[in-house]
Amino acid sequence: MHITAALTASKGAPFELVSLELEDPRADEVLVRIVGSGICHTDLIVRDQLYPVPLPAVLGHEGSGVVEAVGEGVTSVAPGDHVVLTYNSCGGCRMCAHGRQAYCEQIFAYNFAGSRPDGTTTLRNGDAEVHGAFFGQSAFATHALANARNVVKVDVEVPLELLGPLGCGIQTGAGAVLNSLRVPAGSSIAVFGTGSVGLSAVMASVVAGSTTIIAVDLNEQRLELAEDLGATHTINAADGDTVERIQEITGGIGVDFTVETTASPAVLRQAVECLNHGGTCGHIGSAAPGTDVSLDMAVLLFGRSVRGIVQGDSVPQLFIPKLVELYKQGRFPLDRLITTYGFQDIDSAAEASEAGLAIKPVLTFS
């Protein structure tokens, strides 16, 4: 079928709206009419080739929409269902078998190859192949092909255009707190970076019952929003020693948990050094491959730990509906993070994201 998609033609190039041909769904695939598509930091660093996804390609991996057709082997969704598209996984490796598909041993082949795992493309521009299947979806388009494994059915009563970011950024931040770190009630946590991932971690900390929630950033408007969303303290990192300030807030012992979302080695070091004895730092930020960090081994010695987190350790078919229910109850106000843009304004939305003017831009499709 003919679709309109935002093509990334070359490194750093503006998005170009073009007409492409999308294949019909195979037996295990789902055709989705896209209603909303979040713009994630990962989309932009792939556009700029920090991660080497082959180009030209159609990116986008926070899609939400309505199922239009399913392959003959798909039973989990049906035409007319409202769905969120999330990351893809193989379903057969050791990690997938243990319910840890965010760490699938084939994660790059299923999400970053620019093709299906068998090497075939989902998109064409005339006789020329276009790389698609980004995160098993390529949602910067009016329609997307996804796999049954990365399609999540959601409540039809919730505005569908808001839900795409649940497929990556929001589930990552919330899942870091609720799934990965399993932050208990009464605990203390510091969140470094108050973009969509960090603010989702703040909201999840409120849900978890943390009694000390510290948000750290350089952007005063985002810090104000963090406070509105439940942060008990905010720190502008430009105003002196962040670690010292966290020690003051916690009576000199440090926090139980930290979440680092910035991909800055210096910030990751701070996120470790402000932990109390036995504390855990969850590292989320997507740094360029080969980025090194220096940590004080004596600090680590006293029971402190650092663990990487992908997709908030989420099993999307279970976790995303829980977040939707929390939103319906008014306990997880994800709409406070979102600014909508028409699909034709994708470059403006990307620029607003990079400039810090929009926390979570979402493209909408009429």
Q: For residues 303 and 183, state if they share a domain.
A: yes
Q: Is residue 12 a part of any domain in this protein?
A: yes
Q: For residues 221 and 305, state if they share a domain.
A: yes
Q: Which amino acid is at 77?
A: V
Q: Is residue 66 a part of any domain in this protein?
A: yes
Residue 275 burial (C-beta neighbours within 10 Å; 0-12, 13-18, 19+):
buried
Q: For residues 131 and 20, state if they share a domain.
A: yes
pLDDT for position 288: 82
Q: What is the CA radius of gyration of the chain?
A: 20
Reported pTM: 0.96
Q: For residues 161 and 209, state if they share a domain.
A: no
Contacts with 48 (C-beta within 8 Å, 6 or more apart), sequence order: 11, 12
pLDDT for position 52: 86
| Domain of residue 208, residue span | 173-310
pLDDT for position 285: 84
* DSSP three-state, residue 354: helix
Tell me the percentage of the chain whose pLDDT exceeds 90: 97
Length of the chain: 366
pLDDT for position 195: 96
Q: For residues 152 and 256, state if they share a domain.
A: no
Q: For residues 127 and 156, state if they share a domain.
A: yes
Q: Closest Cα to residue 237, out of 257, 262, 212, 213?
A: 262
What is the per-residue pLDDT across 17-75, written as a single tens digit (0 to 9) for each? Answer: 999 999 999 999 999 999 999 999 999 999 999 888 999 999 999 999 999 999 999 99
What is the per-residue pLDDT across 216-253, written as a single tens digit (0 to 9) for each? Answer: 999 999 999 999 999 999 999 999 999 999 999 999 99
In this prediction, residue 171 has a pLDDT band, given cuts at 50, 70 and 90, of very high
Question: How many C-beta atoms surround the C-beta of residue 118 within 10 A?
Answer: 8
Q: Is residue 230 a part of any domain in this protein?
A: yes
Cα–Cα distances in Å, from 348 out to 46, 96, 361? 17, 38, 10
What is the per-residue pLDDT across 120-132, written as a single tens digit (0 to 9) for each? Answer: 999 999 999 999 9
Q: Is residue 323 a part of any domain in this protein?
A: no
Q: Is residue 241 a part of any domain in this protein?
A: yes
Q: Which amino acid is at 207?
A: V
For residue 48, the domain's CATH number is: 3.90.180.10
Q: For residues 43 and 160, state if they share a domain.
A: yes
- Asked if 45 contacts 53 with a C-beta cutoff of 8 angstroms, the reply is no
Q: For residues 157 and 255, state if they share a domain.
A: no
What is the per-residue pLDDT across 67-98, written as a single tens digit (0 to 9) for each? Answer: 999 999 999 999 999 999 999 999 999 999 99
Q: Is residue 265 a part of any domain in this protein?
A: yes
Give me the phi and psi of 329, to 5 degrees please. -80, -5
Tell me how many domains the chain contains: 2
For residue 304, the domain's CATH number is: 3.40.50.720
Tell me the percentage of the chain whose pLDDT exceeds 70: 100
